[in-house]
């Protein structure tokens, strides 16, 4: 029942987003433009790319993610839809899980389009063997961004300056996960073996998912 309710919420969010494409267009345009502008502005050498590719990619994902996450609970404020969801028999944890899954899918789709842009415009040597580990790092890193972002999106939903407040609150919380994802991505794109960052990211994801599921009812109802 829990998973079915979470899936209903996720499907509703994805369906709405496919109709309007508000968050998707803004997020995708932002990430692609940043990657392109950076490559034209600095024309980095292969050694420099080796050093900052992970950082550039995840900073882009983090900022693009804010555009997706800002819309997550904000779309529920219109017409007081959030009240109807809270009054329904859907547990807050299922509501959160559904929203997080939809945000994850949207952000992951943006990342899948942005990654080839980075590889292409920064001349990163890409091999098929990098695909699996890269997907794993992206999955773990994106879930970390999503789970924190979705919880804070719920927390800031009724604030007048939520577009400003969400990034301000979320980025400091994301720093450990971002550093791990950046390091892992840099190692992967440079063809180096990846370190212990995967275990850290996994633990981060589990801990913050549990915390979010436990506290989301307090965040939504008070």
Partner 1 sequence: MNALEIEGVWKYYGDFPALRDVRLKVAPGSTLALLGRNGAGKTTLLRIVAGLSKPSRGSIKIQGAEAREESTRRRIGVLGHGIALYDELSAVENLRLFGRLYGLPDPRKRADEMLERVGLSRVRDGLAREFSRGMRQRLAIGRAFLHDPEVLLLDEPFTALDDRAIAVLQAMIAEMRNRGRTIVMSTHQLREALELASHVALLQRGQIVHAGERTPQMVEDTGWLYRTYGEK
User: Closer to partner 1 at the Cβ: 79 or 127?
Assistant: 79
Among 106, 32, 123, CA closest to 69: 106
61, 111 contact by CB (below 8 A): yes
The residue range among 43-51, 76-84, 115-123, 191-199 that interacts with partner 1, by the rule CB under 8 A, is 76-84
Least gap, CB of 18 to partner 1 (angstroms): 9
Which one among 3, 37, 81, 164 touches partner 1, defined by CB under 8 A? 81
Among 222, 181, 173, 221, CA closest to 200: 181
* Site for partner 1 contains 8 (CB under 8 A): yes
SS (H, E, C) 181-215: HHHHHHHHHCCCCCCCHHHHHHHHHHHHHHHHHHH
User: Closer to partner 1 at the Cβ: 5 or 183?
Assistant: 5
Following DSSP, what letter does each residue of 80-129 receive, concatenated? GHHHHHHHSS--HHHHHHHHHHHHHHHHHHHHHHHHHHHHHHTT----GG
Task: Give me the residue label for tokens 């899954």.
Answer: 101
* Site for partner 1 contains 20 (CB under 8 A): yes
* Site for partner 1 contains 12 (CB under 8 A): yes
* Site for partner 1 contains 221 (CB under 8 A): yes
Query: Rounded to an integer, what distance in angstroms lies between the CA atom of residue 150 and that of residue 152?
Result: 5
Which one among 55, 91, 133, 176 touches partner 1, defined by CB under 8 A? 91
* Site for partner 1 contains 3 (CB under 8 A): no
The residue range among 36-44, 64-72, 74-82, 181-189 that interacts with partner 1, by the rule CB under 8 A, is 74-82
* Site for partner 1 contains 215 (CB under 8 A): no
Point out which residues bind partner 1 (CB under 8 A). 1, 4-5, 8-9, 12, 15-16, 19-20, 75, 78-81, 83-91, 221-222
């Amino acid at each position: 029942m829990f998973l079915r309710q979470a899936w209903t919420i996720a499907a509703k969010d994805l369906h709405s987003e496919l109709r309007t494409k508000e968050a998707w267009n803004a997020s995708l345009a932002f990430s692609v433009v940043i990657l392109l502008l950076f490559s034209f502005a600095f024309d980095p050498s292969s050694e420099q790319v080796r050093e900052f590719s992970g950082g550039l990619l995840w900073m882009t994902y983090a900022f693009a993610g804010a555009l997706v996450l800002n819309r997550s609970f904000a779309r529920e404020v219109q017409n007081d839809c959030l009240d109807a969801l809270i009054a329904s028999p859907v547990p807050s944890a299922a509501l959160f899980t559904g929203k997080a899954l939809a945000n994850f899918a949207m952000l992951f789709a943006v990342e899948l389009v942005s990654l080839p842009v980075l590889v292409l415009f920064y001349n990163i040597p890409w091999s098929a063997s990098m695909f699996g580990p890269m997907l794993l790092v992206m999955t773990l890193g994106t879930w970390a961004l999503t789970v924190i972002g979705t919880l804070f999106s719920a927390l800031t939903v009724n604030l007048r300056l939520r577009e400003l407040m969400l990034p301000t609150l979320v980025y400091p919380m994301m720093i450990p996960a971002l550093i791990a994802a950046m390091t892992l991505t840099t190692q992967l794109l440079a063809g180096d073996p990846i370190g212990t960052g995967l275990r850290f990211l996994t633990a981060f994801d589990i801990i913050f998912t549990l915390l979010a599921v436990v506290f989301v009812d307090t965040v939504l109802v008070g």
